[in-house]
């Protein structure tokens, strides 16, 4: 038999030749690329299924007993604290509360029990899309700022330095503005605002109209005088 041939004349199986370094590198790159695509898909899926970002705001107008007016204001403040919130501001008749959004409905129901509800308003603003757009814009601006800072280090003359610094200042200002807006959305999405307006109940005075007293006029005949002028007029009809 010829060397390398099997019993039936076929080539004997041999171990595969080791891949070259370039092939290994290419394979690793393909694997990393495939992994990156999978991660991107996972990230996109996570973003698609992410919970929406909602800002809740409520307003209540309550009628309360004048005797318990001050204690009702205290009760609204204690309620906000017990739910993990705080008082934004208050005066003699209005209280603004900040409560965790997950307890917004609970807070509204509890506040309605403190008096007679005159009006009730609830607003829900979906800011998910705005938040996502701001986040994308912020990442782009941060990358731009990094490139400008690198260009500033390589600037060859004063003119180039001034031009790059001007662009850098503009981009930094835009980053600050977007970061401020993102903080605002995050804060108001996490903590809802409830405004309570209080008014004291007023007692309704019931006026009972009594008939006017009979008009009496002295007359020469005593029994006629006792009847009164009105009675005499009725008898004459």
Give the separation between CA 134 and CA 186, rounded to whole angstroms: 12
pLDDT tens per residue, range 72-90:
999 999 999 999 999 999 8
* Whole-number pLDDT of residue 202: 81
Indicate whether 119 pLDDT > 70.
yes
Task: Using pLDDT thresholds of 50, 70 and 90, give the confidence band for residue 237.
Answer: low
Q: Which helix (H) or strand (E) holds 125?
A: strand 116-126
Q: Cβ distance 95 to 156 under 8 Å?
A: no
- What is residue 5's three-state secondary structure? strand
* Whole-number pLDDT of residue 143: 96
Q: Helices 128-154 and 158-190 sit at what angle, rounded to 10 degrees?
A: 160
Query: CB under 8 Å to 85, separation ≥6 — which residues?
Result: 97, 98, 99, 100, 103, 107, 191
CB-side exposure of 38: number of CA atoms within 13 Å?
6
CA distances to 41, 45, 85 from 48, rounded to whole Å, are 10, 5, 30
Task: Using pLDDT thresholds of 50, 70 and 90, give the confidence band for residue 209.
Answer: very low
Give the separation between CA 21 and CA 26, rounded to whole angstroms: 9
Copy the structure tokens of residue 203.
């007692």
- Letter string b/e over residues 10-35, b meaning 16 or more CB atoms within 10 A of that residue's CB: eeeeeeeeeeeeeeeeeeeeeeeeee
What average pLDDT does this structure show over 161-177? 94
Question: Average model confidence (pLDDT) for the chain?
Answer: 76
Q: Helices 69-82 and 104-112 sit at what angle, rounded to 10 degrees?
A: 160
């Amino acid at each position: 038999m010829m060397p390398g041939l099997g019993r039936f004349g076929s080539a004997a199986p041999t171990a595969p030749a080791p891949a070259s370094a370039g092939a290994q590198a290419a394979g690793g790159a393909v694997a990393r690329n495939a992994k990156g695509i999978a991660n991107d898909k996972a990230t996109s899926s996570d973003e698609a299924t992410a919970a929406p970002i909602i800002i809740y705001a409520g307003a209540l107008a309550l009628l309360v007993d004048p005797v318990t007016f001050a204690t009702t204001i205290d009760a609204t403040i204690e309620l906000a604290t017990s739910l993990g919130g705080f008082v934004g501001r208050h005066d003699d008749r209005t209280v603004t509360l900040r409560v965790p959004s997950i307890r917004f409905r609970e807070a509204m129901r509890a506040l309605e029990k403190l008096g007679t509800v005159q009006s009730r308003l609830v607003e829900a603003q979906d800011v998910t899309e705005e938040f996502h757009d701001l986040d994308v814009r912020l990442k782009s601006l941060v990358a731009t700022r990094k490139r400008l800072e690198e260009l500033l280090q390589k600037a060859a003359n004063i003119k180039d330095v001034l031009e790059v610094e001007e662009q850098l200042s503009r981009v930094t200002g835009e980053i600050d503005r977007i970061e401020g807006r993102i903080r605002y959305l995050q804060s108001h999405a996490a903590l809802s605002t409830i405004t309570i307006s209080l008014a004291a109940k007023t007692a309704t005075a019931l006026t009972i109209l009594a008939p006017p007293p009979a008009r009496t006029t002295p007359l020469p005949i005593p029994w006629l005088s006792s009847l009164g002028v009105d009675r005499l007029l009725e008898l004459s009809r």
